[in-house]
């Protein structure tokens, strides 16, 4: 028997759930190190411009597709145009691939939160602590199971009683914690060097054009564009799925604008939380830690702060844990909703089946750091293990393909009017309508093609 379709209770519930999806590890973990790598303020300027144009285009398109069809990503695209049903398959494959390793990383965050809350923060700052943990054959799997189970329980409870309720509780707490840590980061000072948080803030906010030519600027643009996928959760089926739960009389444009603002604020504040503190205690060279910044560099920063570092570290990893949980819930929901809409399964059955599959894949990925260890070179120049390969396929290949297909379908086949009519069907204004038309038909497909070619090592 087909279940009655769930929905958010109101537009605030949708905004908080969508923002919870958007504000995840991509914002708090990935955004700061990319900003540091790409000239600080220069990256910020490029990112904000792209968020208001490129990101906005993809976000409003996916949410509108979801509400218009009242279907999740697996079946929504076929409802818009039968020949583009394949996009639904790819957009469901993305969260299916992401969920296992995202929960593994969520398990890492949980491990660090437990470590700091139990007053063992100094241990986490020791060389080899992170490597020793992820190469263990048992501990990472245990923490993965705990995090994945928590994620599944929220999705199991449904849209309004699970996802929306948890988002209403966690998102305000998350935002307050982000502000508290950001303010603290600006006020810290290294007693040995005299470097202050404000000095680090300048490194982050003031654009640096030193050594920036056309090639380097292109890298900044591509990095910022790739970050937008992480930041606003597009091209992974989530926003289509969440859009399908939005009531027909809600102001879609107002909700999209709120998601944009909330997500961009948290992304920028994530840099304020991390970069000034790292610069104060580790210098600008401390920002060269790349993806290992959160698990390797930051515990050392918290240790250098002295006694207060234990408290700050605890607050930080609890905050990141909340962000990771709200995002992983949305990733799982995209898959579960697709199974419900396509096969008319119950939420219980769909959640349990996907939980078991994600757990099995997750265990294999965890063992990729010990039993199944290998190093694989990828077309974009990177080298990694199983987790990195799966991440590369999902984020660097399938997500751009989904986004390109979406732009072609809306921009050239069914025409932008389909989205515009959905957004304005209650008499609302579409403030960036002309910009949207240009972006979805011409500029976004070109940028996305460049991004895909770069990921394939062609460009």
CATH number, domain containing residue 320: 1.10.4160.10
Element (H, E) at 376: strand 376-377
Please give the residue that has the higher pLDDT: either 139 or 281. Answer: 139
Q: What's the CA gap between 216 and 201, in Å, rounded?
A: 23
| Residues 196-216: tens digit of each pLDDT | 999 999 988 888 777 778 888
Q: For residue 326, is it within any domain? A: yes
| Residues 377-427: tens digit of each pLDDT | 988 777 889 999 999 999 889 999 999 999 999 999 999 999 999 999 999
Write out the residue range of the structural domain in which residue 18 sits.
11-372
Q: Which two tokens stand for residue 407?
A: 């732009």
Q: What's the CA gap between 430 and 440, in Å, rounded?
A: 15
Q: For residue 345, is it within any domain? A: yes
pLDDT band at 235 (very low <50, low <70, confident <90, very high): very high
SS3 assignment for 413-459:
HCCCHHHHHHHCCCCCCCCCHHHHHHHHHHHHHHHHHHHHHHHCCCC
**Helix/strand number for the chain, H first, E second:** 23, 2
Cβ atoms within 10 Å of 156's Cβ, excluding its own: 18
- Which pLDDT belongs to residue 1? 45
Q: What's the CA gap between 256 and 459, in Å, rounded?
A: 32
- Which pLDDT belongs to residue 3? 56
Q: What's the CA gap between 206 and 202, in Å, rounded?
A: 5
Q: For residue 447, is it within any domain? A: no
Residue 138 to residues 127, 148, 292: CA-CA distances in angstroms? 20, 15, 21
Q: For residue 413, is it within any domain? A: no
Q: For residue 401, is it within any domain? A: no
Task: For the chain, report the end-to-end CA distance as a whole number of angstroms.
Answer: 50
Q: For residue 349, is it within any domain? A: yes
Q: What's the CA gap between 266 and 175, in Å, rounded?
A: 8
What 3-state class would DSSP assign to 362? helix
Q: For residue 400, is it within any domain? A: no
Q: What's the CA gap between 458 and 148, in Å, rounded?
A: 36
Record the pTM. 0.94
Q: For residue 116, is it within any domain? A: yes
In the chain, the number of structural domains is: 1
């Amino acid at each position: 028997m087909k279940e009655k379709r769930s929905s958010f209770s109101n537009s605030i519930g949708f905004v908080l759930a969508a923002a919870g999806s958007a504000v995840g590890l991509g914002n708090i973990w990935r955004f700061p190190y990319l900003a540091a790598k790409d000239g600080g303020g220069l990256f910020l300027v490029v990112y904000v411009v792209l968020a208001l144009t490129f990101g906005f285009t993809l976000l409003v398109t996916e949410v509108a597709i979801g509400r218009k069809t009242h279907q999740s990503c697996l079946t929504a695209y076929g409802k818009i145009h039968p020949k583009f049903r394949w996009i639904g398959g790819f957009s469901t494959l993305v969260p299916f691939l992401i969920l296992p390793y995202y929960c593994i990383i969520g398990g890492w965050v949980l491990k660090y939160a437990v470590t700091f809350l139990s007053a063992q923060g100094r241990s986490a700052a020791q060389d080899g602590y992170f490597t020793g943990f992820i190469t263990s054959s048992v501990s990472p799997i245990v923490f993965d199971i705990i995090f994945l189970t928590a994620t599944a329980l929220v999705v199991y409870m449904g849209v309004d009683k699970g996802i929306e309720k948890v988002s209403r509780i966690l998102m305000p707490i998350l935002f307050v914690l982000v502000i508290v840590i950001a303010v603290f980061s600006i006020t810290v000072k290294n007693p040995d060097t005299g470097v202050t948080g404000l000095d680090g803030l300048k490194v982050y906010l003031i654009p640096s054009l030193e050594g920036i030519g056309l090639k380097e600027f292109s890298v900044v643009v591509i990095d910022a564009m790739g970050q937008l996928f992480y930041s606003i959760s597009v091209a992974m089926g989530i926003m289509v799925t969440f859009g399908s739960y939005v009531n027909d009389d809600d102001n879609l444009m107002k909700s999209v604008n709120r998601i944009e603002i909330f997500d961009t604020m948290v992304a920028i504040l994530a840099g304020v939380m991390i970069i000034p503190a790292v610069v104060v205690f580790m210098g600008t060279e401390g920002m060269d830690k790349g993806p290992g910044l959160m698990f390797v560099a930051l515990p050392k920063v918290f240790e250098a702060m002295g006694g207060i570092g234990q408290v700050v570290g605890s607050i930080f990893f609890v905050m990141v844990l909340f962000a990771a949980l709200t995002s992983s819930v949305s990733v799982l929901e995209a898959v579960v909703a697709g199974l419900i809409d396509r096969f008319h399964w119950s939420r219980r059955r769909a959640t349990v089946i996907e939980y078991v599959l994600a757990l099995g894949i997750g265990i294999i990925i965890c063992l990729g750091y010990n039993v199944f260890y290998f190093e694989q070179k990828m077309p974009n120049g990177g080298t990694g293990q199983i987790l990195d390969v799966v991440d590369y396929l999902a984020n660097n290949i399938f997500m751009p393909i989904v986004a390109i297909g979406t732009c072609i379908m809306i921009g050239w086949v069914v025409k932008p009017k389909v989205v515009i009519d959905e957004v304005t069907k209650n008499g609302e204004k579409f403030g960036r309508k002309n910009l949207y038309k240009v972006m979805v038909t011409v500029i976004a497909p070109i940028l996305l093609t460049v991004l895909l070619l770069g990921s394939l090592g062609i460009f």
